[in-house]
Amino acid sequence: MSGRKVLFLLPFLLAGCSGRHNWLSAAGEEAQRVEHLFWVLLIGAAVIWCIVIGAAVYAQKASVPDREQQARHFIVWGGAVFPTVVVGALLVWGLVILKDITPNEGDRTIRVDGERWWWRVVYDTDDGPVPTANEIRIPLGETALFKLTADDVIHSFWVPSLGGKMDMIPGRETQLALTPQKLGNWGGLCAEYCGGAHALMRFDTVVMEPDEFDAWLAAQAQPATVDPEDEGYQVFTEEGCGSCHTIRGTDSIGPVGPDLTHFASRERLGAGIYKMTPDNVSDWITDLDNMKPDIDMPSYPHINGARLEALVSFLMSLE
């Protein structure tokens, strides 16, 4: 490829280093450590490559007396001692970073379970667990300790701008710490192929001011305010939605799907895929096979007209 073509493609390549999933624009303490390690490895690899190529050129071009002795020194020091020292130092540094991002305690604990294909999220508080789904909110400057599990197959929890990735393994609990240093909405995703809808298994990670976070968490802990006579709620119960979904404060206590108690307070629908709008919620109910194929929830194309409008209005009221 010519130099001109490389220069032409460079802006497009650099465009991939921006956005909410950018791991080269650290917004968290743990991500900064991983980024530093990357740059050291990259620069070190470039320097070593230059040394090796320079040595090869020198060995071919130069007139060196006693080549056998020179080659022996080069092999011992350049091929054994130097790599051992460098790789050993990098290994120790990497283990220190791993220890820092997998501590045993944090300012708060958040449990995340990877399911097919969505995220069950539970905040541990002094007053008991607070469940939600597909969206994580954490306070600025505090260390959130994530305890990670998986329901079916191996998933991988990753918020590139905030920290490294960690596998979620069925039957085992892994841990990861995130300490955000910038406000914003940082994209998270599953980084381990887990099945048909793997590419559609994402989530929002919203970093908030501590006071705003405390208010949000207190609101999430409250049950939903639902009128049993609400037409939309009646459609919800008639269609059996409560057998899979929980709405705290009602008779709907299904344990299978995401908790819907404060469904409309989330910024996105479908595990971080679509914006939370009435039109998208309507399509999610009636045309789910096209919106997110291969998931367990079926489509309900027979719900239409006034019944669909009432159901969507009810769901959008769950703030």
Determine the Cα–Cα distance for residues 137 and 156; give it in Å rounded to an integer: 18
Closest C-alpha among 102, 111, 120 to residue 177? 102
Q: What is the DSSP string of 267-305?
A: SEETTTTEE--HHHHHHHHH-HHHHSTT-SSPP-TT--H
The average pLDDT across 252-266 equals 96
Closest C-alpha among 53, 147, 47 to residue 104? 147
**Secondary structure of residue 172 in the 3-state scheme:** coil
Residue-range domains of the chain with CATH: 10-208 (2.60.40.420), 231-316 (2.60.40.420)
The structure tokens listed for 154 are 């191996």
Higher pLDDT, 49 or 171: 171
Place of tokens 């080269």: 24
pLDDT band per the 50, 70, 90 thresholds, residue 11: low
The average pLDDT across 89-115 equals 87
pLDDT band per the 50, 70, 90 thresholds, residue 99: confident
- Any idea which of 64-73, 143-152, 208-217, 297-306 has the lowest mean pLDDT? 64-73
- CB-based contact 150:181 (threshold 8 Å): no
At residue 207, the pLDDT reads 97
- Amino acid identity of residue 253, one-letter, is I
The average pLDDT across 140-154 equals 95
The average pLDDT across 232-257 equals 96
For residue 17, pLDDT over 60 is answered with: no
For residue 206, pLDDT over 80 is answered with: yes
Determine the Cα–Cα distance for residues 266 and 253; give it in Å rounded to an integer: 20
The average pLDDT across 47-76 equals 75
